[in-house]
Structure 1
Amino acid sequence: MTITRLLARPMLASIFVAGGVNALRNTEGHAAKAKKVTDKVVPAAQQAVPQAPIPSDPATLVRINAGAQILAAAALATGRAPRLSATVLAASLVPTTLAGHAFWDETDPKAKAAQRLQFFKNTSVLGGLLLAAVDTDGKPGLAWRARRAAADVRREARQVAKDARREARLAKAQLT
């Protein structure tokens, strides 16, 4: 078992379990902060995908985000679909960070410094998630496997064509 599987993924996932549980316990407080972001993102999402049932209530969106974070964190920590779960967590972290740590809106210097620190902490976690999302754990990824399979097929096709030409020459030689 690698150190990544044993320690790093669960450590990376732990903040999302704690954050998701906190968001579920304090939905209304999180929803008030999220409203600034949801008021901009939801109309754009509804316009982009008009047939999708996209909720517009910030509290509902906070609950959905919290649930996604808890499920994806559990999957990442246990090694179940780690690349997908890291991608889901990364996608959920962006609006969470923009809504929860908008240091540029703070006027109090201490509050601004605290929010800036949290913003950059989340940016660092996002970097870790992006690394986890592309980590193949020492195994080739799907794109590599597809390229390898295509190369194998081309090589086999060339060999079959070469064998067919040889057999045709031999058959022609036997006929004459």
Structure 2
Amino acid sequence: MQPVRSLARVMLSGIFVVSGARNLQNPGRLVPAAKPVTDRLTPLIQQVVPSLPTDAEKLIRVNAATHVVGGLLLASGRCTRAAALVLAGTLIPTTAAAHPFWSNDDPAQRAQNQVHFLKNLGLFGGLLLAAADTGGRPGLRWRAGHRIDHSRRSVQRAVRTARREARIAVRSAATARRLPG
């Protein structure tokens, strides 16, 4: 299954690396589409990360760099779960800015944007799967549950042992009292 996972991660990350590199080199062409979204996100960005620029072109560059780095991490198999989550998070504002099919009056443009919106929705689903993939190893939930069950059994054994030793001690004390001495 490992070769399938590796190939799927490389295929999924390709669009992020290529489009991220393209947008990093020429962010100006995306500013008109991104401006409405970046203007709405500016107050939130200033609260969460005050050092992050709020200019639309700089935010496009930050997003593009995130796509390139996240895509390369995902493709290389390094920090895949975190990279997939970050890419999924950046895909939401990217999709809202680039493919707002709901606001198009032209039916052809609306259909085109709807196709791209659904494509990004599919990418989002793939990224969520990549983020949930544990590579065949048990997940954190299973490991925590297994550790709790193991601890519970250990405590139960310790309680049984303590009860048995207490019964033996009581019998020994009773026997010691009966002996002349």
> TM-score if structure 2 supplies the norm length?
0.89
CA contact (8 A) 2:81 2:130 kept: yes
CA contact (8 A) 2:45 2:54 kept: no
Aligned to 2:134, what secondary structure does the other structure show? Answer: coil
1:173 counterpart (166, 171, 174): 171
Q: Relative to structure 2, which stretch is displaced further, 56-65 or 107-116?
A: 107-116
> In structure 1, how many angstroms separate the alpha carbons of the residues matched to 2:158 and 2:50?
50
Superposed displacement of residue 99, structure 1: 0.5
Write the deviation string for residues 118-170 of structure 1: whole angstroms up to 9, x where unpaired. 11111111111111111112111112211211121111111111111111111
> In structure 2, how many angstroms separate the alpha carbons of the residues matched to 1:54 and 1:8?
32
In structure 2, what is the equivalent of residue 25 of structure 1? 25
> TM-score if structure 1 supplies the norm length?
0.91
CA contact (8 A) 1:19 1:66 kept: yes
Larger radius of gyration: 2
In structure 1, what is the equivalent of residue 150 of structure 2? 152
| Change in CA separation of 1:147 and 1:23 when aligned onto 2, cut-off 3 Å | same
In structure 2, what is the equivalent of residue 113 of structure 1? 111
In structure 1, what is the equivalent of residue 55 of structure 2? 57
In structure 2, what is the equivalent of residue 8 of structure 1? 8
Aligned to 2:78, what secondary structure does the other structure show? Answer: coil
Sequence identity, in percent?
44
> In structure 1, how many angstroms separate the alpha carbons of the residues matched to 2:23 and 2:36?
16
Gapped runs of 5+ residues in structure 2?
A: 175-181
In structure 1, what is the equivalent of residue 177 of structure 2? none
